[in-house]
Structure 1
Amino acid sequence: MTELTRRAALAGVAATTLMPLAAATPVRAAAPLADKQNASFYRYNVGTHQITVVCDGVATINLSDNYATGATKEEIGKVFVEHHLPADKVTHSFSPVVVNTGPKLVVIDTGLGPDQFTQSKGRTGQFHANLAAANIDRNAVDTVIISHFHGDHINGLLAAESKPAFANAEIMVPAAEWKFWMDDGEMSKGMGNPILENNFKNIRRVFDALGRKVTPYEAGKELAPGITSLASPGHTPGHTSFIVASGSDKVLVQVDITAGAAFLFVKHPEWNLASDVDKPLAVQTRRKLYDMAIAEKMPIQAFHAAFPGLVRVEKDGSGYRWIPAIWNASL
């Protein structure tokens, strides 16, 4: 018994002697903080069609005094605060889409382009990189449909060094949009207005680099299997939205019927973004399309909604509100 007790005591001393060594053993270092976001794309099915929403990035800028007409800067800031956002900042999201119809691979709008990717240090102009991450080859695209001619929708038609980004695709543009923006007389009238002047110059830069090889289309036409153009003027003269339909399923690709900090103009459809060319018509179009989506219980894919931009719209007082779709982690 004495021997056992002695052994136990010795073992205890040994264990105690080792304790400081164990305590001094360093814990594993924390993982370094990431410096990049994940590739951003999201897929869902509309009947037998598949839509891939491809993020072009997010930009935050200071709220300008003339950001919207019909509202003061203070009124706008109040709406931002109600949405738990800074009163003096504006955040814009950009989300073009790709529609795989089976027979055709169709891109709808192309984002801000690689030049903007460089200038923004990767915050925007992500469309091409995220297409590749989604395993979508630009050379496999059959058709690019442009909704209107603002830079965040057409600049991605060009790759680096002003080369065509979609070398094998037919480029389809709204006929009314082409007629207005490519008219030298209209351009002359727009000189002196910074928004219009910059638009006219950028439009020529992009389409001249493509040799002006485009196919104009009219509203109300099926442009690809299950993709029908829908006139929605006001934001620009030929601004066009789209209905993507397959079987009994359909979604409204609304593009810029609400743009910029788009939820602002969902809540207050009577307000207008400064870049809306025909402001009364933009308001009329906004209400018409949202009332249609509500009546038909149609989901909306919104270019400027927070990614991935798939929402439902419903009435809210004199305006509307968006209900984001639940993210689906599988197809």
Structure 2
Amino acid sequence: MRQPQIDRLHMATLTAPPGHPASGSDIEVFAYLVRHGGTTILVDTGMGADNAFLDDLYRANRIGLDAALAGAGASRADIGIVVNSHLHFDHCGNNRLFPGIPLYMQSRERKAARMPRYTVESWIAPEGALIHEVDGDCEIAPGITLLFTPGHTPGHQSFAVETPSGPTIVGAQVAYTAAEFEAGGDPAEAHDGMADNYYASIRRLKSLRPMRVFFSHDRNEWRSSA
């Protein structure tokens, strides 16, 4: 089994508005391109380009998805599967660019996304979207598994690729940073009432003994010390 090729795609830099846990700080937004076993998968699609309110609130500096993919030597035509780790606006905004491509999300996340002020609902399932709602863990290709990791949101999921030396995981926003993941979690990053789930999801990923874990808002990755 070959090691996967995982490319971090810089999708945007935002400025956290007042009331946000990181108020005033820059927020980098990353998607991940995973090439493994002949399958090319995009984990998260970044922020959409048609919401002036969010652009202004977050002072958004967006990077086009095509440009981000080109930087990794890929194009939209290469993508065979799309995964949304969760459905906050900065993770599902370009789903519309993949009509007819299998798009995986947790059913509990799709339900949560209907709550007021949760996301931009029109970005989730545009015309032509081929949505696969899953409940819990799900193998979507040989050696490639979605892991249900609630806490940051009710239906957050991570993405694991089996390798000869152990799994490599795109943890997405299971933790905000690699340092937080190492420390075990920060309740400020959990959805209302889900701090225990947040901590438990981090513990669960660590129990899988991953070699590397990647995150949605941190350039640093977590690496096993074993």
TM-score range, shorter chain: 0.7 to 0.9
User: Where does residue 33 of structure 1 map in the other structure?
Assistant: none
In the superposition, relative to structure 1, how do residues 198 and 264 fare at CA in structure 2: closer, same or farther (>3 Å)? farther
Output one character per residue of 1:34-56: Cα deviation in whole Å (capped at 9) or x when no partner. xxxxxxxxxxxx93421121111
User: Where does residue 54 of structure 1 map in the other structure?
Assistant: 9
Q: Distance in 2 between matches of 1:143 and 1:173?
A: 11
Q: Which residue, 117, 135, 139 being the options, matches 1:198?
A: 117
User: Where does residue 300 of structure 1 map in the other structure?
Assistant: 213
Q: Distance in 1 between matches of 2:129 and 2:75?
A: 23
Q: Which residue, 233, 236, 241 being the options, matches 2:158?
A: 241
TM-score normalized by structure 1? Answer: 0.57
Amino acid at match of 2:7: T
Q: Distance in 2 between matches of 1:116 and 1:52?
A: 27
Question: Larger % of helix: which?
Answer: 1
Check whether the contact 1:110–1:127 (CA below 8 A) recurs between aligned residues: yes
User: Where does residue 177 of structure 1 map in the other structure?
Assistant: 109
Q: Distance in 2 between matches of 1:250 and 1:230?
A: 12
Query: How much identity, in percent, do the aligned residues show?
Result: 22
Q: Which piece of structure 1 moves more, 229-238 or 107-116?
A: 107-116
Amino acid at match of 2:215: A
Output one character per residue of 1:268-307: Cα deviation in whole Å (capped at 9) or x when no partner. 724313x7243323442354146426xx25211111113x
In the superposition, relative to structure 1, how do residues 210 and 224 fare at CA in structure 2: closer, same or farther (>3 Å)? farther
Check whether the contact 2:101–2:129 (CA below 8 A) recurs between aligned residues: no
Check whether the contact 2:106–2:135 (CA below 8 A) recurs between aligned residues: yes
Q: Which has the larger radius of gyration?
A: 1
Q: Distance in 2 between matches of 1:297 and 1:171?
A: 25
Amino acid at match of 1:284: Y
- The answer as to 2:105 corresponding to 1:152 is no
In the superposition, relative to structure 1, how do residues 198 and 89 fare at CA in structure 2: closer, same or farther (>3 Å)? same
Q: Which residue, 147, 169, 173 being the options, matches 1:230?
A: 147
**Matches of residues 239-318 of structure 1 in structure 2 within 5 Å?**
239-259=156-176, 262=177, 265-266=180-181, 269-273=185-189, 276-289=191-204, 291-292=206-207, 296=209, 298-306=211-219, 309-312=220-223
Q: Distance in 2 between matches of 1:253 and 1:153?
A: 13
SS at match of 1:214: strand
CA RMSD across the alignment: 3.1
Output one character per residue of 1:209-257: Cα deviation in whole Å (capped at 9) or x when no partner. 2356411123222112322111111211111112112333421211111
User: Where does residue 105 of structure 1 map in the other structure?
Assistant: 40
Output one character per residue of 1:176-223: Cα deviation in whole Å (capped at 9) or x when no partner. 2224435xxxx4xxxxxxxxx2225x12x1235235641112322211
TM-superposed deviation, 1:150: 0.8
SS at match of 1:130: helix
The alignment covers a number of residue pairs equal to 221
User: Where does residue 139 of structure 1 map in the other structure?
Assistant: 77
TM-superposed deviation, 1:155: 0.5
- The answer as to 2:128 corresponding to 1:217 is no
SS at match of 2:118: helix
Q: Which runs of 5+ in 1 are unaligned?
A: 1-45, 69-75, 77-87, 159-164, 188-196, 315-331
SS at match of 1:241: strand
Amino acid at match of 1:300: V
Q: Distance in 2 between matches of 1:288 and 1:252?
A: 13
Amino acid at match of 1:280: A
Output one character per residue of 1:126-184: Cα deviation in whole Å (capped at 9) or x when no partner. 433211232312122111011111111101213xxxxxx123421111122224435xx
